[in-house]
Copies of this chain bind each other. A is one copy, B any other.
């Protein structure tokens, strides 16, 4: 497949998309922070199957990191990323520098309340404002038909959907399944921070999610399931930030099983100094899927 064209400027990116839309081509967009893995390529493959052209952005967005987070050490390797993208038929890689996306004197932010408030919104107070702000900017430069996100960042998807709906942005938000390593660990660029023993301990995140799903299907009460989840994580010395069973749309805590709600388990934790998140949508208890 041909090497993707690397685009550095917002205006050039926009012209390419607008020109190709006018030719009747359907465009799929995958925003990333680079350090690409099979989770990203699954989004790209999905976009390629639904669209004529795929554009991927690679931009480590400074404003979605908190002051004590890993912005500086976040892994960056544009060369390897572009090589991987060339194998998946990506046409354009939008890789602006920080000044291009945040020009001097920059002073505009998007604030989403609602789904951005609990969980990550509490623990990382400026995170979702940073995410919403960059996605809105990227969409001005890459006004695609579809934008693709992975289900691992569940709350992020709710925030983006809220922003898209409220502002009336003309784009389809597509949620794709979490991609896991063979041992169950959800793909994440931050997995690179884990030592070999930390990585082994981290496997309990997914196994505890699956154990919780079993209990759920046997009709065990929600608070009992949460207790079991936390016990399993703690036994591997995982530091829990949250491990809750919530309504998948409102993110409100479920206190009773409600057969009509879509329900999800959300986990955020630290393994050593590495922060990981994961989640599992629970099957409906009324269907045979349990």
Contact = CB atoms under 8 A, between A and B. Distances in A.
The secondary structure that dominates the A interface is helix
A70 interface: no
B10 A168 contact: yes
A167 interface: yes
Contacts of A163: 108
Contacts of A168: 10, 14, 101, 137, 140-141
Q: Which of A103, A107, A112 has the most CB of B within 10 A?
A: A107
A107 B132 CA distance: 12
A108 B107 contact: no
Q: How many copies does the complex hold?
A: 2
A166 B137 CA distance: 8
A7 interface: no
A167 B136 contact: yes
B110 A114 contact: no
B113 A107 contact: yes
A166 B167 CA distance: 17
B107 A114 contact: yes
A22 interface: yes
Nearest to A169: B140
A165 B99 CA distance: 12
A107 B112 contact: yes
Interface in A121-140: 132, 136-137, 140
How many chain A residues sit at the interface, stated as a range, is: 20 to 34
A72 interface: no
Interface string A139-173: 01100000000000000000000110111111000
Nearest to A22: B22
A50 to B, nearest CB: 20
A166 B111 contact: no
A140 B110 CA distance: 15
A67 interface: no
Interface string A90-117: 0000000000011101111111111110
Interface centre among A108, A112, A140, A167 (most CB of B within 10 A): A108
A108 B132 CA distance: 9
Given A107-B115, A140-B170, 14 more contacts: A10-B168, A14-B170, A22-B22, A102-B166, A103-B165, A105-B114, A107-B112, A108-B111, A108-B163, A108-B167, A109-B111, A136-B167, A140-B168, A140-B169
Interface of A: 10, 14, 18, 22, 101-103, 105-116, 132, 136-137, 140-141, 162-163, 165-170
9 contacts: A103-B166, A105-B114, A107-B116, A109-B112, A110-B111, A136-B167, A137-B168, A140-B168, A141-B168
